[in-house]
Chains A and B, each alone.
Chain A
Amino acid sequence: MSTITPDVGHPDAGGHDPHSHDHGHGHGHAEPAPLSLLWQLPTFSVDHKVIGLQFLITTLLMLMVGGALALGVRWQLAFPWERMPILGDTVFKADGGQIAPETYTMLVTMHASVMIFLVIIPILAGAFGNFLIPLQIGADDMAFPTLNMLSYWFMWPAIACFGASFFFGGGPGNGWTSYPLLSALAEAAPGSGLAQTLWLIGLTLIGVSSMMGSVNYMTTIINMRAPGMTLFRMPLTIWSMFITAILQAFALPVLTAAGFMLVADRTLGTCFFIPSGVVVNNAAPTIGGGQPLLWQHLFWFYSHPAVYIMLLPAMGMVSDMLACMSRKPIFGYKPMVYSLAAIAGLGFIVWGHHMFTSGMNPALGMTFMVSTILIALPSAVKTFNWLGTMWGGRLQFNAVMLNCIAFVSMFIIGGLSGIFMAAVPVDIYIHDTYFIVAHFHYVLFGATLFGCFGAIQFWFPKMFGRMMNDTLGKIHFVLTFVAFNCTFFPMHLLGVAGFPRRYADPYHFPYLEHLLSLNQFMTIAAIVMGFAQFILLANFFGSMFVGKRCGRNPWNANGLEWTTPSPPGHGNFDIPPVCYHGPYEYSSPLAHGNDYLPQTEYVPLTKRQSMAGGH
């Protein structure tokens, strides 16, 4: 640390005044053009910021694809067997404009697959992980830039596989969980042929992409932190990315192995998951020797930790944003870190709660129930700490903050509804009903996506040197928040009413008939929510060109990323950062006249002692 002189002579390096363009210190660095990252998008860039942006824009487009698939599902649930508007005369012409039952199962499957594998996981780890990790720890780039570049470009063969699968047998229709035997035997369903194989290969390729990312993140965070950036001075975003990367590295190989085993069952005639003597659709009996439950264990051994892969980074980013927008340190930094770690650790031993009704050994059900209920504890601790962070703060009610508050509020609902299904006896009833659908949408959309909406607007200035429009952001937020709750909250009640998942037409059951009108209301809300996302896209892409120019630190935030130019040039830091304290010193009495204290700002020992003595 002694070799680098702290930049005490230029306390303005962090850009205290967002309007001053903060270039008075004469280092002679030209501010990069605002769109310098954008123009590099179609290249095989190895710059982590470009790769992050590539991930971000790809996932935003995939969000719209996944949303369109969801609207297809919602249409069928509200207006079963009626002619589909817009797509009815083109895509579904062969079925008379209707959504056929096998098409419906395809829509359900591909909505989940696209949203989980092409939106949520890559937008968190891929987009924000890539963009933020080197910037927040003060590194020039990732540890393995080429590997990083490959991790993005491996997304495209996966997208191509998913896309191609639509054209065989109406697309894979076995759910994103793809339980064998439905997914193992080509005769089992129209979409169980080549479409299913393509889906599995696509899944494996995304796994390869994620794995390359997570190896990179772990190495970068362990090895490339700036001087003074100790582990407990890392922003919670970095902690969450680090823990997510560990989760991914340990859980993903299991899914990859399972994927290959299922592909082998389908194409090479192995029988890992296929028992003997099963006759599906009058095909020849299976040879057998396998166990379908094995797939469920392997799949959920990855996919439960994956649920936390889809949540933890958002928790970290929201912690950062909440502290900044409350102008107050994060409440209980270390408990926040430990609870992240506890969620990750417990996350490995709860996968069986997806299988309470599967016929696995009932004694396992008991152990999985205890571990699952206990995982609510670190989640509760985090929630209380977020409330504590806002408590007594000077809240800035901008679009970023609103999305973060929504994150906390929706996460409370999603977390509490999880207790119902963690309790095995109650899960017997609500398993595979819409209660489950409500729960995971509250966590994955209500929490994660609102966190992402906030994060996009929070770090957008760092990407493009311009601000996103706050009014548009608020309109988008209100529409999305209201429509989201109107769409998904009633699903809890549908679940209690015994409304099963993945039903192309539930209404021919007498006990479900009266739920049609509620479903129509939800579908209308879902359509509003879907179209509200165009506001986000317009705001995002429009602000690149017309947004208000900003300096290095428009939010008066503390993190190292705010000391770089906006957008940072290749190599990120024009002033080699040295980190002197934690990232959440907002409103610190040590900050002279400001309500924030950048991590790079040195506070002389005498001043610290005098403050300490004052107590």
Chain B
Amino acid sequence: MAGRFWAIFFMLAAVVTVAFTAIAPSYGYWFPGDGQAHTTLGKKIDDLFYLILIIVTVTYIGTHIALGYVLWRGAAIRQDDKVWFSHGSHALEVIWTIVPSGILLFIALYQMDVWRNYRIKAYFPKNTAAVAEVTARQFEWRIRYPAPGKTLQPRPQPDDVYTVNDIRVPAGQPVSINLRTDDVQHAIFVPGLRVKQDAVPGLVIPVWFEVTDTGTYDMTCAELCGWGHYKMKAQVVASSAEEFEAWKVRVAEEQSYDGIPKTPAVAANAGGE
């Protein structure tokens, strides 16, 4: 029966896609790194992702079993058999309108507070500290930190600390960065932290996150920004609060070094140059 062959063909496609997805994580075709989100909100995003994945997988398998069934049955009916003459069923229409709408509304409402906490300033954690201003440009990220012991000012200060393509933040506490761009639109994307936000010309957008684990996370640009879009490689380094402060002090000293020795030991070295 040619018809049954096609019923199997379509079912096989569905089975292969599900099986491929099931084994994908073991080949690394899944969330990057250890597969975990390393921010508080990122973990909630992952939970929502897996919740939707379950709903979607059940729906996919269910609809494809139904598809396989109607194809198999349709192939079995002989050409001279009468078919079921039906224009539809009101009861079925009502059921398959109300049930999905309930599920969909649940999905929609269930997402609300994660989004609210992520983006609406009034719901940011109260103790969120602005650690840096990140300015995107073609094709690099420039990061401006306040001097040790000071707070970030909207305008650059003479004692600000700068890095390029290297965002340092303290882990274990909510921090925010002020995202802006010097030229065209860019977007910060840190997959391991589940953080993404466009940098829009003319706007300064605060992005907050709380890194839960110290470590180094890859960072990319997620908005087409020109021929070098793929080159905007950067990293986010999360360290303990003490290490972060110590790092900032060290870099501040390096960057404000004016050639005048501060201690005799350094003077000996500096004098030799």
Contacts and interface: CB of A to CB of B under 8 A. Distances in A.
B29 A518 contact: yes
Contacts of A429: 42, 45, 49, 191, 194, 196
28 contacts: A101-B228, A105-B227, A105-B229, A181-B183, A182-B185, A182-B224, A278-B201, A280-B184, A281-B138, A326-B74, A332-B87, A332-B92, A357-B222, A362-B115, A374-B101, A388-B88, A394-B81, A409-B10, A409-B64, A413-B60, A416-B60, A419-B55, A425-B44, A426-B111, A496-B31, A498-B32, A511-B191, A515-B29
A102 B139 CA distance: 13
A313 to B, nearest CB: 22
Contacts of B73: 391-392
A357 B119 CA distance: 9
B246 interface: no
Interface of B: 2-3, 6, 9-10, 13-14, 16-17, 20-21, 24, 27-33, 41-42, 44-45, 48-49, 52-53, 55-56, 59-60, 63-64, 66-67, 70-71, 73-75, 77-79, 81-89, 92-93, 96-97, 100-101, 104-105, 107-108, 111-112, 114-116, 118-120, 138, 182-185, 187, 189, 191-192, 194-198, 200-203, 205, 218, 220-231, 233
A586 B86 CA distance: 10
Contacts of B59: 412, 416
Interface stretch (A12-20, A144-152, A256-264, A486-494): A486-494
A222 B75 CA distance: 39
Given A390-B74, A393-B84, A362 B2 contact: no
A105 B224 contact: yes
Given A188-B184, A497-B28, A518-B29, A595 B83 contact: yes
A493 B29 contact: yes
A508 B233 CA distance: 8
A333 B29 CA distance: 42
Contacts of B184: 180-182, 185, 188, 280
Q: Which 9 A-B pairs have the closest CB atoms?
A: A275-B202, A395-B74, A498-B191, A392-B84, A332-B88, A362-B119, A102-B227, A503-B230, A493-B29
B193 to A, nearest CB: 10
A291 interface: yes
A139 to B, nearest CB: 26
A358 B198 contact: yes
B104 A374 contact: yes
A510 B218 CA distance: 8
B56 A419 contact: yes
Given A174-B224, A182-B224, A380-B96, A497 B71 contact: no
B183 A280 contact: yes
B202 A385 contact: no
A333 B67 contact: no
Contacts of A509: 218, 220, 233
Given A370-B108, A432-B187, 12 more contacts: A104-B227, A179-B185, A179-B224, A278-B183, A373-B105, A406-B10, A412-B64, A485-B16, A493-B30, A497-B32, A500-B220, A584-B87
A181 B201 contact: yes
A381 B97 contact: yes
Contacts of A365: 115, 119
A405 B32 contact: no
A365 B118 CA distance: 11
Interface string A461-489: 00000000000000000100110010001
Label chain A's interface by main secondary structure: helix
Nearest to A183: B184
Contacts of A357: 187, 196-198, 222
A394 B74 contact: yes
Contact of B88 (A326, A385, A419): A385
Nearest to A401: B6
A22 to B, nearest CB: 21
Contact of A384 (B30, B60, B96, B198): B96
Interface of A: 100-102, 104-105, 173-175, 179-182, 185, 188-190, 274-276, 278-281, 288, 291-293, 326-333, 335, 357-359, 362-363, 365-366, 369-370, 373-374, 376-377, 380-381, 383-385, 387-388, 390-395, 397, 402, 405-406, 408-409, 412-413, 416-417, 419-420, 422-426, 428-429, 431-433, 478, 481-482, 485, 489-490, 492-494, 496-498, 500-506, 508-512, 514-515, 518, 584, 586-589, 595
A56 B63 CA distance: 33
Contacts of B3: 395, 397
A329 B56 contact: no
B56 A392 contact: no
Contacts of A105: 224, 226-227, 229
A426 B48 contact: yes
Contacts of B183: 181, 188, 278-281
Nearest to A427: B196
Given A362-B120, A384-B96, A429-B45, A280 B138 contact: yes
Contacts of A412: 59-60, 63-64
A359 B185 CA distance: 11
B13 A423 contact: no
B91 to A, nearest CB: 11
Contact of A380 (B79, B100, B115): B100
Contact of A392 (B86, B96, B231): B86
Contacts of B227: 100-102, 104-105, 173, 189-190, 504
A230 to B, nearest CB: 16
Given A175-B224, A503-B230, A333 B88 contact: yes
A579 B187 CA distance: 57
Nearest to B94: A335
Contacts of A329: 85-88
Nearest to B74: A395
A305 to B, nearest CB: 20
A494 B6 CA distance: 29
A428 B2 contact: no
A337 B203 CA distance: 44
Nearest to B79: A394
Contacts of B33: 511
Nearest to A582: B87
B127 to A, nearest CB: 21
Contacts of A190: 227
A370 B101 CA distance: 11
A358 B111 contact: no
Contacts of A431: 196, 222
Contacts of B2: 397
B200 A413 contact: no
Nearest to A371: B108
A244 to B, nearest CB: 23
Contacts of A515: 28-29
Contacts of A179: 185, 223-224
